[in-house]
Amino acid sequence: MSRFSALAFGGVLLLASAVPIRAQCPEPATDPGGFSKVASPSAREQMLPEDGNLSDTTYTSRYFGFALDLPLNAQGHMIMLPLMPERQHALLAIGYQNGGRSGSLTIDAIEPAENVAGFAAEAEQQRYEASASIATPPATMPSGTVQPGAEPGTLQPPTVQPGADGRVPPGPVSSQVGPKVQLALPGYKPLPHFQSSMRNKKGTHTALYWTRIKNYKIGVLVSTNDKEFLQKAKQAMSAAHFYCLQDDGTLTLPDGRLVKPEGGPYQGPTIPTWRADTAIKNKPALQVPPGEVKAGVYRNPALGVEYEVPKGWNVLPANNSGDPPADLTALRVFDFLHACERTLLRIAPPAEGNVASQGRRPAITLRALDPVCLSLRTPALPSDKRTAEEVGATLEMLSEFGQITSSDLLPVSGQLFMVFHGTIVARATVENLAQRMAQVLYVTRHNKMLLVWSMMAPTSAELNALPMIGVTFDGSPRIELRPALNAKK
């Protein structure tokens, strides 16, 4: 899984101008009083803005009802983004770097601010009403011809029939034309349409596409120094598909035919915003029992785990995360992690001589993470390496787990462990500055929680020399986990 720097582009999402109507979707049915016939929340209302489908070649937003072919294969090119700010949602992030060539495509959505009625919903309605006397229903026209009633020189996209795959290819994307608004037919609403702007600065091409769906601002940002990638991205956006949104959560064509999205369920390149907000508010990790150490053994009956503390090692205060960061983005990540995670145990060997002033001591930390709170899928089989990589990318995004350079899946006595190797920066102290340390993480799912052992030391040699971890799950035979990536019953 490729990992890039965070891409923030919410500020460049602009208001879209009205465009000619090429296809229309029926409005939800209403009763004589003007209210929806659906009394309870619909399936779509229970979805998250990040809900979509992803295959190696196609992305579909099931919440917003659009799909596009990807300019590069998703496998191996997924980007993990940091948590999004409140009211912003990351839908997709892919990219690559090959020598001096690189390119990325990201999609996000910004929801209306509180107490603001749908951004420009009223303005859109006023434009429709103002144009009622001059607007005409859409007609099927040859590509590039002028529709009757339009201003001279204005090109009108054609109305195109669905293809064999059930998709309706949209017309060309351009911000260079300003066609006259057309009034939607009574009881119908027009499908959206992407507008675009392009920029080239010192060989770096930036293409921005934007539209409005369900009162959200949707933005697609393409950034690359590779003309071939740029051309593929332009073609993908020109052929983007828009569908009608049904109350039961399905997508259909304007004529009512059902659309089945390609690929499997996908909820974006980071934790869905609503789940992050809910976790920070409710702090579910506080419900995890901390366990205790007696006679050299850490026991947590609620989690069904026992861990033998290495002889001679000291038990340290469990809370060692430092002060909350001042940066708002880092603070949001900090608050989210500590809402979903509880540190159960921290241990370290005793300091000898002047070791504390010469460098950081080795240490082992045991944490319990709530995978539901973190929106984490976990592997069920040793072959499920892609899911393990997703777990590693999420841990890396949460910052306190360091930088991960490699991963493995290790089945031991019926227990499947994810093993991550990398480095972590130890916090600075009065005695010494911050120092990068070698680290190995053993991660396994047990009793609905993720148990994470973090073993760290100043050097790889010292890490490999750390004592093994002797752990027992619900009275099962003892398992030994060693820093040098091997384990035995």
Domains along the sequence of the chain with CATH: 10-270 (no CATH), 277-488 (3.40.1000.10)
267 vs 148, higher pLDDT: 267
pLDDT for residue 185 is more than 50:
yes
Condensed to tens digits (0 to 9), the pLDDT of residues 383-431 reads: 898 889 889 989 998 888 999 988 899 888 889 999 999 999 876 554 5
Q: Note the pLDDT of residue 325.
A: 83
Q: Which helix (H) or strand (E) holds 90?
A: strand 88-98
Mean pLDDT computed over 356-384:
85
User: Measuring CA to CA, which residue among 443, 388, 440, 439 is closest to residue 412?
Assistant: 443
Task: Please state the three-class secondary structure of 325-378 as a single string.
Answer: CCCHHHHHHHHHHHHHEEEEEEEECCCCCCHHHHCCCCEEEEEEECCCCCCCCC
Backbone angles phi, psi at 395, to 5 degrees: -60, -40
Q: What share of the chain is helix, strand, coil (3-state, %, to 5)?
A: 15, 35, 50
Q: Which helix (H) or strand (E) holds 197?
A: strand 195-201
Q: Note the pLDDT of residue 414.
A: 84
Backbone angles phi, psi at 338, to 5 degrees: -80, -10
Mean pLDDT computed over 188-196:
87
For CA atoms 393, 398, 404, 409, the dihedral sign is negative
How far is residue 402's CA from residue 232's CA, in Å, rounded to a whole number?
Answer: 35
Residue type at position 300:
N
Model confidence band, residue 11 (pLDDT cutoffs 50, 70, 90): very low
The helix-helix angle for 273-282 and 328-340 (nearest 10°) equals 70
Whether this model's pTM surpasses 0.75 = no
User: Measuring CA to CA, which residue among 248, 214, 243, 190 is closest to residue 38?
Assistant: 248
156 vs 166, higher pLDDT: 166
Contact 417, 401 (CB under 8 A): no
User: Measuring CA to CA, which residue among 420, 400, 422, 436 is closest to residue 481?
Assistant: 420
461: helix, coil or strand?
helix
pLDDT for residue 21 is more than 70:
no
How far is residue 238's CA from residue 234's CA, in Å, rounded to a whole number?
Answer: 6
Burial tier of 444 (Cβ tally within 10 Å: 0-12, 13-18, 19+): buried
Task: Return all residues near 300 (Cβ < 8 A) that are at least 6 apart.
Answer: 289, 290, 291, 292, 306, 344
How far is residue 440's CA from residue 424's CA, in Å, rounded to a whole number?
Answer: 10
Q: Note the pLDDT of residue 227.
A: 94
pLDDT for residue 15 is more than 90:
no
Please name every residue paired with 388 in a beta bridge, in sequence order, or none if there are none: none
